[in-house]
Amino acid sequence: VDAYEPVDLSPDIPDSTYTNALTAAGFRFGHWKVSARGSPQLSDLQAFPVVLWRVIDDIVNYGVDEEGFTDPAATNNTLSVQQQLMIEDYLASGGSFCMASMNILSQLGNVPFRRNVLQVAGFKMNPDRPSPCSACDEDCGVPSVVGATDPLTSGMSITIDYSNYPSFDIGFGDVYGPDFSDTFTLGSSATPIVFESVSDRPCGMKYPSAGLDSPGRVVFLSFPLDAVPFSGSAPNTEVVLLRNIINFLAPGANGVGAVAFDSTHYSLPDQVAIEVADSDLDGTGETQATCSISSSTNRVTVTLKETTHPGLFRGFFILATNAAPNQLPAHNGDIITLSYFDASNNSNVLATARLDTTSPVISHVSATTRFGDATVTWNTSKPADSLVQYGEAVLLGRTAYSSRLVTNHAVTITSLAANRDYFYQVTSRDAADNTTTDTNLYTFTTQRPQAPPWFDNLESGAGNWTAKPDAAGTEVNWTLGRPNNGIQTTGHSGTNSWGSNLDGQQVGIASSYLYSPPIDLSGFSQATLSFWHCFDFTFDILNLMYLEEGQVLIAHDTTTDPTKLPVLHDFTYDVSHDWTQASLDLTPYVGRSIMVVW
């Protein structure tokens, strides 16, 4: 269902970005163009085992035109209430649904469809859209994705190409986009299939999870499918991803048998769930499959019962060291083979999984601390997930987790108190659920803030200063060094200074934040900040406005979205072509630790 119809400001991304991928993946399809035929009805959807629904995905999803006014033309960027109910009815009747959109969660809002169909249990929205927010899921950006340990996406590592989508300028040098993709929190019955590669937050899911039952199936991606490269090295292409998605959504379609394990790895003892899909057997109630092991001639025949999804059958058997009747004896390293005879094609359909009873070995546990955060690192002998349990007492009680399977682990813990002792312990679990906990109880101490009187002439390196680019994008960032920008050739109190454009280069947009080391103002009744600065804010004589500005903000950590920080002083309308001293009152912030942000 193609509801993509460009309006003002939106890119013309051709229908072929979908249709060519479907053809290359080997599928026959019907193309319902909404602009020509109107919305389909339930009976139109029910003629197909899978429905892919495409909406418009760009700046107009914010509902504003280039002057900032509401754009009533942007009506094909969401699903109407009637369409949402129709899709739910289609799924209840055994259909499968796929949507890939970087703005549909925002457009829908907190409606039942978002929870019941897209399986999004949590979605932290950014109240100041369109600016991305590091603490939010909305518009946080998905520049690249990595596959989960799932047959649908295992081994994928894809850079998302947004070159067909525009950035947009809302004035005053504020440029946003083109990546407005989201992350989200999954419902308990769904499984993540791809993660944003830096944050490890889910940005794609499948429903239902392996072993669970549902009449319909769903795959949702919170980034545009057409932004996945069409060609390249397998499996990192739109064609492979789309083929895998549809094979999951319509297993056994057209009478072509399909088989699957519920995992790629198993341990001992373990319960194995297997699925057989074959539309030729729709309504027959049950079928059979055979499982064998590579280390012996032992095999077990499994009877699979038909699920609520027509033509899909599920059964179970047990892997054990000393197997009882109807169980399969196995050993570490065995390959497990699932075989189903597809009568209509007169052939056996196979799937394999691996038996792994070896737990990961943990080594080289350490922690690097700052004032309000710490990064715990360790190595494992095999790919595994990352869990840190930590707390101010030996009972721990708090956790930080990454589900990605890696051998070099790094988990950052935030919202810690400065100058505080913490205990921690690490755990890793591999793809077969073999789990190792390092029983050592480690400790780290967060750094002590600076206590006034404090002075830094910037000649000893960056130290605990932190430069952060704006999440919305910037061409330059704060840099420490000797200025050479046509205004100054040396710092004020020495050679060095921090500069947001230290070398005076030509840039389209510069937006970044410089955080001081934490300063402890507890025990004081008043405090003053003094610093020397030099700047040249361009004045637009034609429009009588400044194109640049500077602010001093107050933060208590580096994790809060800087656009939400209180402003201590605004230098929007000031100009200083020489080193000038500024003095600002910090008395409202005495009693706790702060960070000054330029």
Which pLDDT score is estimated for 9?
62
The lowest-confidence range among 127-141, 236-250, 544-558 is 127-141
Alpha carbons 551 and 598: distance in angstroms, whole number: 6
What would the mean pLDDT of 57-83 be, rounded to a whole number?
58
Alpha carbons 436 and 425: distance in angstroms, whole number: 11
pLDDT > 70? residue 71: no
CB-based contacts of 597, cutoff 8 Å, min separation 6: 513, 514, 515, 516, 552, 553, 554, 555, 562, 565
The lowest-confidence range among 79-88, 298-307, 326-335, 503-512 is 503-512
pLDDT > 80? residue 211: no
How far, in whole angstroms, is CA 359 from its chain's centroid?
A: 28
The lowest-confidence range among 179-193, 225-239, 541-555 is 541-555
Alpha carbons 593 and 290: distance in angstroms, whole number: 65
For residue 373, report the phi and psi dihedrals to the nearest 5 degrees.
-155, 165
Alpha carbons 282 and 289: distance in angstroms, whole number: 16
Which pLDDT score is estimated for 351?
93
**Structure tokens that stand for 426 in this block:** 């690490």
Identify the residue whose tokens are 């950006």: 141
Alpha carbons 58 and 11: distance in angstroms, whole number: 8
- Residue pair 96/50 in contact (Cβ under 8 Å)? The answer is yes
CB atoms within 10 A of CB 289: 24
What would the mean pLDDT of 474-496 be, rounded to a whole number?
90
- Residue pair 264/431 in contact (Cβ under 8 Å)? The answer is yes
CB atoms within 10 A of CB 468: 16
The H or E element that residue 515 is part of is: strand 512-515
Alpha carbons 552 and 554: distance in angstroms, whole number: 7
Which pLDDT score is estimated for 174?
52
Which pLDDT score is estimated for 184?
93
No. of H helices and E strands in the chain?
Answer: 7, 38
Highest averaged pLDDT of the listed ranges 51-60, 114-123, 344-353, 422-431: 422-431
Q: What sign does the CA torsion over 8, 10, 13, 19 have?
A: negative
What would the mean pLDDT of 352-372 be, rounded to a whole number?
94
Highest averaged pLDDT of the listed ranges 8-17, 132-141, 170-179, 519-528: 519-528
Which pLDDT score is estimated for 593?
86
How far, in whole angstroms, is CA 301 from its chain's centroid?
A: 41
* pLDDT tens per residue, range 282-306: 999 999 999 999 999 999 999 999 9
Which pLDDT score is estimated for 361?
98
Which pLDDT score is estimated for 558?
77
**Structure tokens that stand for 138 in this block:** 């909305």
Identify the residue whose tokens are 């407005």: 180
Torsion angle of C-alpha atoms 253, 226, 145, 74, degrees rounded to 10: -110
Which pLDDT score is estimated for 547?
79
pLDDT > 70? residue 61: no
Which pLDDT score is estimated for 198?
82
* pLDDT tens per residue, range 102-160: 989 988 888 999 999 999 998 877 654 444 445 578 888 899 999 988 888 988 999 99
Torsion angle of C-alpha atoms 489, 493, 496, 502, degrees rounded to 10: -50
- Residue pair 437/424 in contact (Cβ under 8 Å)? The answer is no
Which pLDDT score is estimated for 573?
63
Q: What sign does the CA torsion over 185, 189, 194, 198 have?
A: positive
Which pLDDT score is estimated for 99?
97
Mean pLDDT, rounded, of the chain: 88
Question: Pairing relation of β-strands 312-320 and 327-329?
Answer: parallel
Amino acid (1-letter code) at residue 449: P
Amino acid (1-letter code) at residue 575: V
Alpha carbons 274 and 286: distance in angstroms, whole number: 13
